[in-house]
Amino acid sequence: MVTPTVDTLSYSCELIQPSLRSALERLDPGVRHLCGYHLGFWDERGEPDRPRGKGVRGVLALLSAHAAGAPVEVGLSAATAVELVHNFSLLHDDLMDGDRTRRHRPTVWAVFGSGHAILAGDALLGLADEVLAEAPSATRSWAIRCLAASTRRLIAGQLADLAFESRRDVTLSECLQMAADKTAALLSCAASIGAVLADGPADLALKLAQFGEHLGVAYQLIDDVLGIWGSPETTGKPVLSDLRAKKKSLPVVAALTSSTAAGERLAALYLTDAQLTEAQLEEAADLVELAGGRAWAESTADAELASALELIGSDQIPSGVAEDLRRLAIRLSGRDH
């Protein structure tokens, strides 16, 4: 057992948050105010607040540079860029999904209006490539192209998610593809872009990308479980929020397509136009569990996590970094308790 060299999430406070603040300095004051509110740098009146979000994607990008033998700092522009893209997507998705709460606070569109949330997201997306284009690295253009490819999948995943709302026949395979695009694509990019920027070997970058892809699917499965059974203290969202919004999340689709009596009762409840009552919400959660949706999501997450961990077990990655990646993966997929 190798002792991890650092508390990896402290990278987020010490390196990534200051770099994000510095990137925001470039923005027009009005746009900056919206973006900094979203990131938790200040509250809606501009008074200092505390940054929310775990910055996991950014930390992965730093570790990715380190895995390629470079100092973590070499991955800092990549870390900043993936965090900017992640937060761009949160700003736009919260608006599209009508989510009024994020990280225990009202979302930007709920406070400032929808046009403001669109522009704040646009600004963060625009900043991401600018930061990467300034990286003192011969491979920065390749890093920009990797990030663009994952941003494209992220957008396709969100469009699929929107389309699922009005469809009654979503298959589990479509739902897994949507989750891979919406969540795993950016985690895959985060886990490999630091190695790209550090000009690491292509096979290492590809292995790290696969690690991130599996980790992303594991993460989304557990996030969907928490979206039903998580406590508001942990998730920062209202209880049963995914069921309330009738989201076709992974455990729900697994239950709906389970060919069980519970799955059929869930479909009857879920696929009506009416808003569910509190009692019906509790019943729906029980039906997802009875139909095997929860157990399937948890065991699939375990399998995805195992596949991810196998990829970083090779000798190619220095053991200290591999251990940091392993701990981060276990924490992110909610398997650390």
> Which residue in 227, 214, 222 sits closest to 295, CA to CA?
222
Rounded least distance, CB 310 to a copy of itself, Å: 29
Rounded least distance, CB 185 to a copy of itself, Å: 11
- Binding to a copy of itself (CB under 8 A) within 196-225 occurs at none
Should residue 158 be labelled a site residue for a copy of itself when binding is judged by CB under 8 A?
Answer: yes
Rounded least distance, CB 309 to a copy of itself, Å: 30
- Cβ proximity to a copy of itself: between 95 and 255 the closer is 95
Which residues, other chains included, contact 285 with Cβ-Cβ below 8 Å and sequence gap of 6+? Answer: 228, 229, 240, 243
Q: Which of 10, 14, 30, 168 binds a copy of itself (CB under 8 A)?
A: 30
Report how far residue 263's alpha carbon sits from residue 261's, in angstroms, rounded to the nearest whole number. 5
Rounded least distance, CB 159 to a copy of itself, Å: 5
Should residue 160 be labelled a site residue for a copy of itself when binding is judged by CB under 8 A?
Answer: yes
Rounded least distance, CB 90 to a copy of itself, Å: 13
- Binding to a copy of itself (CB under 8 A) within 70-129 occurs at 88, 92, 95-96, 113-116, 118-119, 121-123, 125-127, 129
Should residue 130 be labelled a site residue for a copy of itself when binding is judged by CB under 8 A?
Answer: yes
Rounded least distance, CB 35 to a copy of itself, Å: 11
Q: Please tell me the number of Cα atoms within 13 Å of 166 on its side-chain side.
A: 3
Rounded least distance, CB 100 to a copy of itself, Å: 16
Report how far residue 132's alpha carbon sits from residue 129's, in angstroms, rounded to the nearest whole number. 5
Residue 101 burial (C-beta neighbours within 10 Å; 0-12, 13-18, 19+): middle
- Cβ proximity to a copy of itself: between 35 and 59 the closer is 35
Q: Which of 134, 203, 286, 336 binds a copy of itself (CB under 8 A)?
A: 134
Should residue 141 be labelled a site residue for a copy of itself when binding is judged by CB under 8 A?
Answer: yes
- Cβ proximity to a copy of itself: between 120 and 325 the closer is 120
Q: Which of 7, 10, 145, 336 binds a copy of itself (CB under 8 A)?
A: 145
Rounded least distance, CB 301 to a copy of itself, Å: 25
Binding range to a copy of itself, per CB under 8 A, among 157-165, 192-200, 253-261, 288-296? 157-165
- Cβ proximity to a copy of itself: between 102 and 116 the closer is 116
- Binding to a copy of itself (CB under 8 A) within 165-194 occurs at 181
Which residues, other chains included, contact 62 with Cβ-Cβ below 8 Å and sequence gap of 6+? Answer: 11, 15, 16, 72, 73, 75, 76, 79, 194
Rounded least distance, CB 91 to a copy of itself, Å: 10
- Cβ proximity to a copy of itself: between 18 and 115 the closer is 115
- Cβ proximity to a copy of itself: between 119 and 284 the closer is 119
- Interacting residues with a copy of itself (CB under 8 A): 26-28, 30-31, 88, 92, 95-96, 113-116, 118-119, 121-123, 125-127, 129-130, 133-134, 140-142, 144-145, 148-149, 151-153, 155-156, 158-160, 162-163, 181
